[in-house]
């Protein structure tokens, strides 16, 4: 077994505590990664608090992992010691089903293996990136281009791919009108990536507090959803709306903002239902869709795209002892725009 230090929560309420976890000995295709940075995703909070279903404790969240390969298994061909690498939301899948064969491992018909809170093929409960080391099969590791610093690369492994994948899948092209709902970790990446794809980007945020930021990040327009006039003014405007909100909001109001044949893609994942009236969809042949992270090949493509276009998230680097405080700030929508844990501070009290 390989020892790793980690920050774990021992109950839905927390707090985080320093602990030791065991990683499996390297199998032939495994790489051992010395983690340097781990992003904090709102999904960490939903999961650890049991909002998506029961989980086991202690739980080490973290699926935005950036680090350096420190050892490789005997059959590894893709990576060598010293390589800068990342791991996102999954660490394995069946690799045989139709989805896996298409490179859409996130939609594995047998369920992908989550980076944390899942049981892997060895029967071990997976533990995530709020830790010093992780062992992952080389097929679920991606390469971080030299142009991207490791701290800012970390959030791309979830926030980056979760917004890149639907923007690609729904073929965003220059001049298209794209709205991003919620300017948090995912939302701010959605703005940057949609802008780089040439879209005319609108942010729909609860208030105008972050307007200057939004415009600086690449948005062309910025509206407050607390103002009912926003919905009148923008009715029928957008080709694509990307909803990144972590809470249940009135989907019918947002669907009314779609143009003919427009699609609202939901990536936000509140536990509560999002009720939809059929008459929000029928009149303009609108679609309501969902999307989950992205496959491994596409995650690599996204990292290369970000390197090529000079796209990195806006981050606030914190020490490991500040995780509880950072989570509270995420819950209060007070994050600009992603917290990233400096793993070198793991043992610091
Ligand atoms: P985040 O940083 O907390 O951002 C969420 C944003 O939603 C906030 O910044 C806020 O934006 C808005 N918001 C929050 N509460 C709201 C409310 N009650 N009403 C209206 N707007 C509200 O979270 P994140 O890490 O970006 O994650 C966002 C959601 O995506 C989470 O539910 C997460 O679990 C989910 N997620 C899904 C996938 C996937 O594969 N589909 C992957 C990763 C994350 P404003 O302040 O601008 O209004
Ligand atoms: Zn995430
Ligand atoms: Zn599969």
Computed over every residue of the chain, the mean pLDDT equals 98
Cα of 340 from ligand 2 centre, angstroms:
12
Q: What pLDDT score was predicted for residue 296?
A: 98
Residues touching ligand 1 (Cβ under 6 Å) are 41-43, 46, 158-159, 162, 182-187, 205-206, 210, 244-247, 249, 267-270, 291-293, 330, 333, 335
Residue-range domain boundaries for the chain: 2-157+314-348, 160-290
Token representation of residue 122: 């060895």
Ligand with the closest atom to the CA of 94: 3
To test the pocket of ligand 1, the residue of 42, 251, 264 to mutate (highest count of ligand atoms within 8 Å of its CB) is 42
Q: What pLDDT score was predicted for residue 175?
A: 92
Model confidence over 91-121: pLDDT tens digits? 999 999 999 999 999 999 999 999 999 999 9
Residue 166 has pLDDT above 90, yes or no: yes
* Architecture in CATH for domain 160-290: 3-Layer(aba) Sandwich (3.40)
- The model carries a pTM of 0.98
Model confidence over 49-98: pLDDT tens digits? 999 999 999 999 999 999 999 999 999 999 999 999 999 999 999 999 99
Q: If one looks up domain 2-157+314-348 in CATH, what number appears?
A: 3.90.180.10
Answer for the pair 152, 315: CB distance below 8 angstroms, yes or no: yes
Closest Cα to atom 17 of ligand 1: 247
Establish whether the linkage from the previous residue to 15 is cis, with ω within 30° of 0: yes
Residue 238 has pLDDT above 90, yes or no: yes
Residue 349 has pLDDT above 90, yes or no: no
Long-range contacts of 97-106 (CB under 8 A, 24+ apart): 102/295, 103/295, 103/296, 103/297, 103/298, 104/295, 105/140, 105/295, 105/296, 106/292, 106/293, 106/294, 106/295
């Amino acid at each position: 077994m390989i020892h790793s230090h980690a920050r774990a929560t021992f109950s839905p309420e927390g707090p985080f505590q320093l602990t030791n976890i065991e990683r499996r000995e390297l199998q032939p295709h495994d790489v051992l990664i010395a983690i340097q940075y781990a992003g904090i995703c709102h999904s960490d909070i939903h999961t650890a608090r049991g909002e998506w279903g029961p989980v086991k404790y202690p739980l080490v969240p973290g699926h935005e992992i950036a680090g350096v390969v420190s050892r490789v298994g005997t059959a590894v061909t893709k990576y060598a010691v010293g390589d800068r690498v990342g791991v996102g939301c999954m660490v394995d899948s069946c690799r045989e089903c139709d989805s896996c064969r298409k490179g859409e491992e996130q939609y594995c018909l047998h369920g992908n293996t989550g980076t944390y809170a899942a049981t892997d093929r060895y029967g071990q409960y997976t533990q995530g990136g709020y830790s010093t080391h992780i062992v992952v099969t080389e097929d679920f590791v991606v390469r971080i281009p030299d142009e991207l610093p490791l701290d800012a690369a970390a959030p791309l492994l979830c926030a980056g791919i979760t917004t890149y994948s639907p923007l690609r899948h729904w073929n965003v092209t220059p001049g298209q009108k794209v709205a991003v709902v919620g300017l948090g970790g995912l939302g701010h990446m959605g703005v940057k990536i949609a802008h780089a794809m040439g879209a005319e980007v609108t942010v729909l945020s609860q208030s105008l507090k972050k307007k200057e930021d939004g415009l600086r990040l690449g948005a062309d327009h910025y509206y407050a959803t607390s103002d009912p006039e926003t919905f009148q003014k923008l009715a029928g405007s957008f080709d694509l709306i990307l909803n990144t909100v972590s809470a249940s909001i009135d989907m019918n109001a947002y669907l009314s903002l779609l143009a003919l044949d427009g699609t609202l893609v939901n990536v936000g994942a509140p536990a509560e239902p999002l009720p939809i009236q059929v008459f929000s969809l029928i009149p303009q042949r609108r679609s309501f869709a969902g999307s989950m992270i992205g496959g491994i090949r596409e995650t690599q493509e996204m990292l290369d795209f970000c390197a090529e276009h000079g796209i990195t998230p806006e981050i606030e680097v914190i020490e490991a002892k500040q995780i509880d405080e950072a989570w509270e700030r995420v819950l209060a929508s007070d994050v600009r725009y992603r917290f990233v844990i400096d793993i070198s501070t793991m043992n610091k009290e």
